[in-house]
């Protein structure tokens, strides 16, 4: 049994700030009173999430289920998050580059590392009206248009300029996490210690950890688009020293070895191209 997951690419003006928009939820497959456990992976983005239905949603924190607000901001995570999705629940989200939150809203998210916060406390009283418009939209395409107009309007008010944290984060993403911190520091003309302090303040993690997340995100994307690729090939393409290094990072970020993770429906629901992977798992030795 799977939940429905879809992605929508941002328009050109929004693309420097947003990785993609998404929808996630049950479209009638769950039985009455049922729920789905969904794994959210640490892929180096922040998330702005809007619940489109009234069913209570919760996530697991310190072995306890914590109810989520109707709309909230999720900071950068360095571990797997587990969300409980009840029957009929639907959500719309914005996967946004964490450095973009400062550029658009003037909001550093260092304190939201591995955590989330009610969006009204972050974005102000107008966020409630935005949430209502997104919930009332006719379809997902209209939700994307509403979200993009909001982001661009906030960006215009902030008159955001390029800064070294955003530039450093962009370079790490572009390199797939293979750029060293020393090389990065040199490229943005900022001392290593200052760069590390600024990353932790504005993004929540060090440049080294952000690079690891960028590399893991690239590996995850490669698995999605190339389900028959070997772990060795993915490790090489993403710049890992060897397959064992890739598997260690994978376990660190998900708590599971790749083979166990990719046979779990909570993962496969958000990877539409992975059907063929199940047929090739017998040859994997992770």
Domain membership flag for residue 154: yes
What is the number of structural domains in the chain? 2
pLDDT given at position 186:
97
Domain membership flag for residue 168: no
pLDDT given at position 11:
98
pLDDT given at position 162:
54
Rounded Cα–Cα distance for residues 273 and 286 (Å):
21
pLDDT given at position 279:
31
In the chain, which ranges are continuous DSSP H helix? Answer: 98-105, 119-123, 126-136, 140-158, 164-174, 181-187, 192-202, 207-225, 231-237, 243-254, 258-262, 265-268, 275-280
Domain containing 65 equals 4-158
Give tens-digit pLDDT for 90-142: 999 999 999 999 888 888 899 999 999 999 999 998 999 999 999 999 999 99
Q: Could you tell me if 87 and 214 lie in one domain?
A: no
In the chain, which residues have pLDDT < 50?
159-160, 268-286
pLDDT given at position 264:
63
Q: Could you tell me if 34 and 97 lie in one domain?
A: yes
pLDDT given at position 159:
46
Q: What is the DSSP letter of 70?
A: S
The domain boundary residue, chosen from 119, 138, 158: 158
The domain boundary residue, chosen from 90, 125, 158: 158
pLDDT given at position 106:
85
Beta bridge mates, 24: 5, 91
Identify the sign of the CA torsion 97, 19, 173, 155.
Answer: negative
pLDDT given at position 107:
84
Q: Could you tell me if 15 and 131 lie in one domain?
A: yes
Q: What is the pTM of this model?
A: 0.88
pLDDT given at position 274:
37
The domain boundary residue, chosen from 139, 158, 177: 158
CATH number of the domain residue 224 falls in: 1.10.10.60
């Amino acid at each position: 049994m799977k939940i429905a997951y879809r992605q929508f690419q941002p328009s050109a003006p929004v693309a420097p700030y947003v990785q993609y928009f998404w929808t996630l939820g049950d479209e009638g497959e769950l039985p009455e009173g049922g729920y789905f456990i969904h794994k959210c992976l640490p892929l180096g983005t922040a998330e702005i999430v809007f619940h489109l239905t009234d069913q209570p949603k919760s996530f697991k924190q310190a072995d306890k289920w914590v109810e989520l607000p109707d709309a909230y901001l999720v900071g950068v995570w360095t571990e797997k998050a587990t969300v409980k999705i009840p029957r009929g629940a639907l959500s719309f989200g914005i996967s946004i580059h964490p450095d973009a939150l400062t550029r658009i809203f003037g909001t550093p998210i260092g304190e939201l590392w591995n955590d989330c916060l009610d969006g009204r406390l972050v974005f102000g009283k107008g966020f409630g009206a935005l949430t209502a418009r997104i919930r009332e939209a006719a379809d997902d395409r209209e939700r994307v248009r509403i979200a993009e107009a909001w982001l661009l309007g906030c960006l215009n008010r902030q008159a955001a300029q390029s800064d070294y944290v955003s530039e450093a984060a962009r370079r790490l993403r572009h390199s797939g996490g293979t750029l060293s911190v020393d090389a990065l520091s040199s490229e943005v003309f900022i001392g290593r210690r200052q760069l590390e302090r600024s990353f932790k303040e504005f993004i929540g993690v060090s440049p080294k950890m952000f690079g690891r997340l960028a590399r893991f995100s690239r590996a995850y994307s490669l698995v999605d688009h190339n389900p028959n690729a070997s772990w060795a090939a993915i490790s090489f393409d993403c710049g890992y020293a060897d397959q064992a290094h890739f598997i260690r990072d994978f376990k660190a970020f998900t708590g599971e070895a790749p083979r166990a993770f990719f046979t779990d429906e909570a993962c496969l629901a958000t990877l539409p191209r992975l059907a063929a992977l199940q047929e090739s798992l017998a040859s994997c030795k992770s």
